[in-house]
Structure 1
Amino acid sequence: MYQAQLTDHAARRLQQRGIPAAVLPMLLQYGEHEYDKRGAKLIYLSHRSRQRLRQTLHASDYRRLERAMDIYAVVDTDGTVVTVGHRTHRINRN
C-alpha cells in the first residue's frame, strides 16, 4: 500500500475526526481526484473506486472499513496530505 507524507495538521485531523489510519492509503491509491483552484488535489472514493477496492480487499475487511470511506483528502503538488475530512456534500466535478 501507498504510504503518504502527512502534515502535522493532517495527522491531527485524522485523529480528531476519528478516521482510521488504514483508510488513508486506500483512499490515496484507489480514489479519484478533482483539482481545486490552487493546484492541490481533492481525493475521494467514488462509487467506481469503491468497487475496485471491494474487488481487492477481503469481504470482511471491506465491511469493517466501509463506514469510514466517506472521506476526502487534500494533497498538495508534492504529494503531501494537507488535510482530511468527512464528506458531507457531493464533490463538484469540473
Structure 2
Amino acid sequence: MYTKHAEKRVQQRGISQEVCEMLLSYGDEKFDGHGGIVQYFSEKSVSRLIAEKGIQYCKKNIKQFKAYLVKSARDGAIITVGIDRTPHKFKVLGAA
C-alpha cells in the first residue's frame, strides 16, 4: 500500500512499481529511527537479484539500484521513495 505522498514521489522521481516490488522482495532493511524502515539495494541484495533474474537483466537496470523506499514499521505502508545520489559501485556487476 502506498501513501498519497509515496504515490506522488513515485511519479515525480520516475521510479517504477517494478523497482518498488524488487526493493520489497530483495532489498536490505534498516530502521530509520523514526518509525520507518528503509529498504535499499546493497551488494548482497543485488547478488540475490542476479541469482534470480540474471546478470544481464541486472546490468541493464543498474541505474534502478540507486532507488530506495521507506515503509512504516507499524503497518508496512510505503511512505516515500527516492533515489540515492551517493555514487555506488556494485562489484558483483563489475560497474559503477
> Percent of counterpart pairs with the same letter?
34
Match 1:30 to one of 26, 29, 42: 26
Shift of 1:33: 1.0
Match of 1:6 in 2: 2
How far does residue 20 in structure 1 lie from its aligned partner after superposition? 1.9
Q: Please list the CA deviations of residues 5-64 of structure 1 after superposition, one character each: whole Å capped at 9, or x if unmatched.
A: 111111111111111221110111111111111121011010110011011014443233
**Which segments of 5 or more consecutive residues in structure 1 lack a partner in the other structure?**
none
Q: TM-score normalized by structure 2?
A: 0.80
Task: Tell me, in whole angstroms, the C-alpha distance in 2 between the residues paired with 1:74 and 1:64.
Answer: 25
2:6 aligns to what SS in structure 1? helix
Superposition pairs of residues 28-67 of structure 1, within 5 angstroms: 28-67=24-63
Distance in 2 (alpha carbons) for counterparts of 1:50 and 1:84: 18
Pairs aligned (count): 86
Aligned pair 1:88/2:85, yes or no? yes
Aligned equivalent of 2:12 = 16
| Separation in structure 1 between the aligned mates of residue 47 and residue 55 of structure 2, nearest angstrom | 12
Query: Which runs of no fewer than 5 residues in structure 2 stay unpaired?
Result: 88-96
Structure 1 segments (4+ residues) deviating >6 Å: none
How does the TM-score come out when normalised to structure 1?
A: 0.81
Give the Cα–Cα distance (whole angstroms) in 2 for the partners of residues 56 and 37 of structure 1: 31
